[in-house]
A and B are shown apart, each in its own frame.
Chain A
Amino acid sequence: MWERSLQDLIRGLRSHKNSSKAELDAFLEEAMSEIRAELRGKDMELKAEGVVKMCYLMMLHPLAPPPSFAFHVVEVMSSQRYHLKQLGYVAAPMAFSFDTEEVVLTVNGIRKDLLASHAHLPPLALMGLSDIVTPALARDVYADVATLTTHSRPHVRKRAVLALFRIFERYPDAMRMGFSRLKDRLEDDDPGVVSATINVITELSRKSNPKNFLPLAPQLFELLTTSSNNWMLIKIVKLFATLTPIEPRLVRKLLPPITNLISTTPAISLLYECVRTCITGGMLEGRTEAGDALARVCVEKLSTFLSDEDQNLKYIALLAMVKIVPTHPHLIADYQDEILQSLDDEDVSIRMRALELVSSMVNRRNLKEIVTELISHLVPKETKSAGRKDAASLLAQTAESTGSPSGQANLVSPAYRLELSQRIMDMTSAETYDNVTDFEWYMSVLIDLAYVAQAPIGAQLRATMLDVVSRVKSLRGYSVQLCQRILNDEHFSTAASAGDETCSEVVYAAAWICGEYSSTHDAPRMIRDLLPTSETESASTTAVRLMAAAKVFGRWASDISVDWNIKVRQQCLDLIEDIFMALKEGPNLSELIGHERASNLSHLFTLIRNDVEKNVAPNDGDDMPAGMREGFAEDDAGTTPKYPKSLFLLLPLFDSYELNPVGYKAQERVSLPDGLDLDTPLVDPALLKAEFDGVDVDSEDQEEPDIDAGENMAALQAAIKASDGSAKPKKGGKGPRVKADGTPESKEERAARRAARKARQAGNPHYLAADDDLDDIDSIPIVKLEIDDDDDESARNTRPGRRLLSAAVSGGKSPRRPGTPLEDKVVARPEVQIDREGEMPEGSGHATPTEKAARRKKTNGGLKALDIDMTGDDTGRASPSSRATYDDYEPDSPVKTDDRIATPPVEVVQVVAKKKKKKKRAVLAEDDGADTGETR
């Protein structure tokens, strides 16, 4: 007898507290080999000891037990001696897992223990069973457990009832048979058993169809009004929260007792649950007088918690208020200050809840205030009192503080910063910026966020910035100003070069916005700002900067052609020279995309430079009075223009179409043209692999995001894609190109574009040489995207519903967002024009199969699959007294109750097949007699 007991093992482990990992590992290894030997041995006592030791080690260290561990546990479980058996049952849940086959071996042992005449064995078996039950085991032991629910000892009944829940969960068919037994336990003499039953019913009601439990309402109601057990009352109240949504008449009945509980109970936990049931149970909805009064009582109670010393109550109050906001936002609004104060709490749990509450409270009136408050939490503490005013002041603040993050409030952990920043983004962009009334303010908030967030939200910021400018036309000028400031901001450029993802993404967005929307006024300066300066900037940002510079140049060049003279010519040449300098020195050419853009531009600008150099500009342009110059220009109209033609080389590359936001899901609604086979590979994959092994990786990487794009922001994707050129073919798919002014593009322009494209492709190894017809992407029959200006205009002026939704669902206007009508009167929608819908392809009125599938209600796992309608038999058995109470308050439903009484006790069971497996089951009807027969 030299074996170590559990105590010895623990002492050994404790003596290794300070030893090295190797020593500990050696000790564990030794202990394990000992355990293995004990498990293998014949002595049951030692085996049990080995099992306990293994369990202890498993709890402390993620050690894998020996493969036969489960088997040995089964042996111990079936030991004749109580203390060993007990250890076996305790160890069983740790030894068995989903795929443990040994569970099968336990069936007989468990059944034997369940039915043992020894009073102490059934509770043990029930305890173990609850933890290890599998569908097969549930089927085998169900009948025995059901019998135990009528055991003479309350302790056994209680355990049996709880075990039933796990059995129903794993083996839903048992619920059909066992439901009545469960119901009977509601009338048990022992309050503990009743409480356990309520517990199980509450769980079942949450996890399966709550309708099944409606017939129990009279009994539950009686318990609610008579019981004083808070534990049980909490559960009953929670149970009613799942029942009232499906039986609205319960609300009227429940209002008095719940109101009574709310105003009298000293138990705060119960009070809170009552309040929550009022809210989640829909008792406050419908704007009835009683509902409103109750809501007021609830909010008053909760608001006292809000300022309570006890942090737990504060937390609970915030949790409950979130629920009340959708129906009674004005009641919560009264406490906005207290709630905002909670954002300052030192407890992150409370701040998280306050944050959630605040985001649900946001409306058009308070958005600015709340966002300002939230941003101030991101700003380092010492400067916080200054508050957030605008980008410039923050810029100064952050510039000071970024160097020394030490003073930063330690409250604001990185994860919390991220949460906070995301909340700000989410609450402002919700419902396509529905709450934003001042977009200039919004743009500056986004840029402030870029300064202060210090959280990885760059991609989201970029997406939102681009999305907002493309939707709100009036914002573009102001955005360009802000964005140019970003481009010039050293904080950003150094951070972006240092690899800060957020700054880099924001610079990306800023560059794109400047390129797309800047005016030609002072364009040379803008171009110089746009040109990449840092070699460590990310390649995609470099690429965007280059393209943006080219865009601005294109516009500027076409502008200066009007006033062409020697001064302008020199200015133009200087600028081109600067561009060449930047192309040579600045950009990050380590990646293909930057390299490609740079070489594109350098060729184009070479062309322009040569052309401009050859041109001899009139040097008297500036001296001429305006009128004369015009006349002069007209005189000359027939002949060769004075300016170099290449000034118009770049403009059509970028301005030939307008970039509009693309409708949500527009991508997936483009219908497939007839005869387009997407399944056959263009090139035999095997061949491709053999020949281009590894070559294609890059282009694949870039294509990948395209496919997922529909989910997020199609508009943005399109915009970004267009800017870096990789989506050019898709843009071509719009059919005849339309210039900004709406006139179709001329043949010459198109030819010029094609030539330019070919020149690009010729130098690019990724393009296969193709003949002209195939290369003409314009001729590929893709459904034309509609750009309907009239429609857009009207949609913007009226408050737009989602075009997509209304078309798909009913063809009518979609309902308004559930906001309070009051609010709309106070804050009239400002004249900001927002394109909330975006473009949609023609003929996209029908939903695609994938959307339909997505819209279909998902069935939940577990018991949700079991949709049992048992209204047939249960009320028939309800006690007369409770029946009477129930009927009293629903005089308007006599037919239904009569029906119930008249119906013979038949359980109609409808098993709704899970949608994927298409397992169909007919409606089963089972006789109550058969049920009891089976269970006995």
Chain B
Amino acid sequence: MIQAVLIFNNHGKARLSKFYTPLPAQSQSALLSQIFSFVSDRPAGLCNFLDAPGLHFPRVGADGKVKPRRKGKGRMGAGYGQGYGQGYEGDDDEDDEDESRIIYRHYATLYFVFVVDGAESELGILDLIQVFVESLDRTFENVCELDLIFHFDEVHLVLAEIIQGGLVLETNLAEIASCVRQTRALRQASINQNNPISLMSNFSGGGRGGGGGSAGDNVRNVANRWLSGLGVGSG
């Protein structure tokens, strides 16, 4: 199954991180920066499979704590997230079929990274990344990094049409696009339904409140204005 889907940019800033098995926040960002450090070192034209000595995927124990990594293994140790409450004694005798693999693609400013176990086909996942990117492209029309930044909730929803709970839900581009369109329409309808004012809310892409726009202003002034605004609002 797919263990995680990550998107980050050329500077290692996360644009999406979706873990299909719970992992403590610290390990999530540690893993992301670890993968980034390996991936960003790789020039274009190399293979899309990340395989490096010293790369480890953290394993989660039954209590949700990260287990110490096995030593002396080049590929990432896995056995990660086999269901909680079941015990993990068997982790050590897993063969390399169960090891995590990292498959990535680099598009312009963004890295798309999938962490998968042995049940997935490496080349298949490579295609799946392409499907994901094309779906995003259809959703946002010529997707760029900014789209992903400002609509990070929507990116999650697109991904949810492709993968559910770590298993591939749909690979057909048209099918995915139509599902995404549907949910989008539903959402828009829901927003408009009860609250006509929120037409100009974030979901329609427009900014709300003048405070946020003055990004270049002195921070403290802006902050003070917000705080007082908040006080008025809640009072």
Contacts and interface: CB of A to CB of B under 8 A. Distances in A.
Chains A and B are bound partners: yes
Interface of A: 1-12, 14-16, 19, 23, 26-27, 30, 34, 37, 41, 45, 49, 52, 55-56, 58-64, 81-84, 86-87, 90, 93, 96-99, 120, 126-127, 130-131, 133-135, 155, 158-159, 162-163, 165-166, 169-170, 172, 192, 196, 199-200, 202-203, 206-207, 230-231, 234, 238, 268-269, 272-273, 280, 310-312, 314-316, 319, 346-350, 352-353, 355-356, 413, 415-416, 418-419, 422, 858-865, 914-917
A749 to B, nearest CB: 45
Interface in B88-111: 88-94, 97-98
Interface in B51-68: 51-54, 62-64
B16 interface: yes
A864 B18 CA distance: 26
A62 B233 contact: no
Contacts of A15: 215-216
B47 A349 contact: yes
A98 B51 contact: no
A916 B89 contact: yes
Contact of A7 (B14, B17, B207): B207
22 contacts: A7-B208, A7-B212, A10-B149, A23-B219, A45-B195, A81-B193, A82-B190, A83-B187, A84-B190, A131-B20, A158-B170, A199-B168, A203-B167, A234-B124, A273-B121, A310-B47, A311-B48, A315-B122, A352-B74, A419-B53, A419-B74, A861-B90
Contact of B90 (A59, A99, A310, A858): A858
B165 A130 contact: yes
Contacts of A10: 149-150
Interface centre among B123, B203, B215 (most CB of A within 10 A): B123
Contacts of A355: 74
Contact of B209 (A4, A26, A96, A131): A4
Contact of B169 (A12, A16, A162, A422): A162
A52 B156 CA distance: 12
B137 to A, nearest CB: 20
Interface string B201-235: 11100011101110110010001011101101110
A97 B22 contact: yes
Interface pairs A-B: 3 shortest CB-CB: A8-B212, A2-B229, A130-B165
Contacts of B74: 352, 355-356, 419
B121 A234 contact: yes
A858 B121 contact: no
Nearest to A131: B165
Interface in B18-50: 18-20, 22, 24-26, 28-29, 42-43, 45-50
Interface in B162-205: 164-172, 175, 179, 182-183, 186-191, 193-195, 198, 201-203
B140 interface: no
B46 A311 contact: yes
A11 B215 contact: yes
A60 B14 contact: yes
Given A169-B82, A349-B52, A861-B83, 10 more contacts: A5-B201, A55-B153, A82-B187, A93-B22, A134-B84, A202-B119, A312-B126, A348-B51, A859-B89, A862-B86
A722 B225 CA distance: 77
B43 to A, nearest CB: 8
A30 B82 contact: no
Contacts of A162: 164-165, 167, 169
A508 to B, nearest CB: 22
A158 B169 contact: yes
A312 B49 contact: yes
Contacts of A860: 82, 89-91, 93-94
Given A81-B194, A415-B54, A349 B202 contact: no
Interface of B: 1, 13-14, 16-20, 22, 24-26, 28-29, 42-43, 45-54, 62-64, 72, 74-75, 79, 82-94, 97-98, 118-119, 121-124, 126-127, 149-150, 152-153, 156-157, 160, 164-172, 175, 179, 182-183, 186-191, 193-195, 198, 201-203, 207-209, 211-213, 215-216, 219, 223, 225-227, 229-230, 232-234
Nearest to A859: B90
Contacts of A134: 84
Contact of A2 (B63, B92, B156, B233): B233
A49 B47 contact: no
Contacts of B17: 59
Given A3-B209, A158-B169, A861 B187 contact: no
Given A5-B208, A311-B47, A419-B53, A12 B215 contact: yes
Interface centre among B62, B188, B190 (most CB of A within 10 A): B190
Given A56-B152, A130-B165, A238-B121, A315 B47 contact: yes
A552 B153 CA distance: 76
Contact of A26 (B93, B152, B219): B219
A349 B48 CA distance: 9
A201 to B, nearest CB: 11
Contact of B208 (A1, A60, A350, A422): A1
A165 B165 contact: yes
A2 B227 CA distance: 9
A37 B231 CA distance: 10
B54 to A, nearest CB: 4
B198 A45 contact: yes
A836 to B, nearest CB: 23
Given A120-B182, A349-B50, A2 B209 contact: yes
Given A1-B208, A83-B187, A272-B123, A127 B179 contact: no
B190 to A, nearest CB: 4
A243 to B, nearest CB: 14
A283 to B, nearest CB: 16
Interface centre among A58, A83, A353 (most CB of B within 10 A): A83
Contacts of A915: 89
A83 B202 CA distance: 12
